């Protein structure tokens, strides 16, 4: 069956380890674990678990290749919830739903993955990892101009971060099978929209293969073959 998404088959020359960061967005208890806020409401967490399996493989490949790894996570308190967020929740009939990833609750903790010394780490309040943070400064300080984006959820924080990165002149690649939404349709539609407007789509296998063969990247011609 034909791939419904326009993946880049050979991204190696475009994601060279020395100027690329693997970005892991919001892989936290409240977003990914059956014991978190979302899971406790009976939501099927298997798409998140499958994406995290692949994120683990990508992190291992990035560390082996010397690619920078960045971990984003939501960290909130009641007083940090924006007026716009609270009003939006109230108007849609879900007041109080903004209380997620509360500091001290355990829901803000990383789930299955965590940073190591030398990684980028960003705490955020909003969907975009750039909003109100020093994320861009950390990337620029390391000479990074390319982001390989993974995490949760495709239609929310992955989408917002990726679009914001594009607006700040970063080259963006989204790993389609290392992201997840709680609605499969939203996952696919968001990926298609990103591929139309800001980003190139890649698979975990393609990225892992590229970084495993990193010695050949510097001399390789830029390849944009679409599967």
pLDDT of 18 over the 80 cut: yes
What angle (nearest 5°) sits at the alpha carbon of residue 227, between those of residues 5 and 165? 55
Question: Going from the N-terminus, what domains does the chain have, and what CATH number goes with each?
Answer: 16-216 (3.40.50.850)
Distance CA 104, CA 221 (A): 49
Q: How many CB atoms lie within 10 A of CB 14?
A: 20
Distance CA 88, CA 77 (A): 18
| pLDDT-based confidence at residue 3 (cuts at 50, 70, 90) | low
Distance CA 76, CA 150 (A): 21
Distance CA 135, CA 176 (A): 22
Segment 160-179 mean pLDDT = 98
* Among candidate residues 9, 21, 55, the one with its CA nearest the CA of residue 148: 21
Mean of per-residue pLDDT scores for the chain: 92
| pLDDT-based confidence at residue 4 (cuts at 50, 70, 90) | confident
Q: Report pTM.
A: 0.91
* Among candidate residues 216, 169, 183, the one with its CA nearest the CA of residue 47: 183
The catalytic residues are 26, 124, 157
What are the DSSP calls for 67-107, one per residue? -EEEEEEE-B-GGGS-HHHHHHHHHTT-TTTT--SBTTSST
- Contacts with 185 (C-beta within 8 Å, 6 or more apart), sequence order: none
HEC assignment per residue over 170-194: CEEEEEEEEEECCCHHHHHHHHHHH
* Among candidate residues 5, 33, 24, 47, the one with its CA nearest the CA of residue 192: 5
pLDDT of 218 over the 70 cut: no
């Amino acid at each position: 069956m034909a791939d419904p998404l326009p993946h880049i088959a050979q991204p190696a020359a475009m994601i060279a380890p020395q100027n690329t960061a693997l970005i892991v967005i919001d892989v936290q208890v409240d977003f990914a674990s059956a014991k978190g806020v979302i899971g406790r409401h009976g939501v099927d967490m298997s798409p998140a678990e499958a994406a995290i399996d692949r994120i683990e493989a990508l992190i291992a490949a990035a560390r082996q290749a010397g690619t920078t790894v960045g971990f984003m996570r939501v960290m909130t308190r009641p007083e940090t919830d924006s007026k716009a967020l609270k009003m939006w929740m109230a108007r849609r009939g879900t007041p109080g739903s903004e209380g997620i990833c509360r500091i001290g609750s355990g829901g803000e903790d990383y789930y299955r993955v965590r940073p190591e010394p030398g990684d980028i780490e960003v705490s955020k309040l909003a969907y975009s990892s750039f909003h109100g943070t020093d994320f861009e400064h950390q990337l620029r300080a390391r000479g990074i101009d390319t982001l390989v984006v993974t995490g949760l959820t495709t239609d929310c924080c992955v989408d917002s971060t990726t679009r914001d990165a594009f607006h700040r002149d970063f080259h963006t690649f989204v790993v389609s099978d290392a992201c997840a939404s709680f609605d499969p349709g939203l996952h696919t539609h968001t990926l298609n929209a990103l591929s139309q407007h800001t980003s190139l789509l890649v698979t975990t296998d393609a990225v892992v293969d590229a970084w495993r063969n990193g010695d050949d990247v510097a001399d390789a011609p830029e390849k944009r073959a679409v599967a």
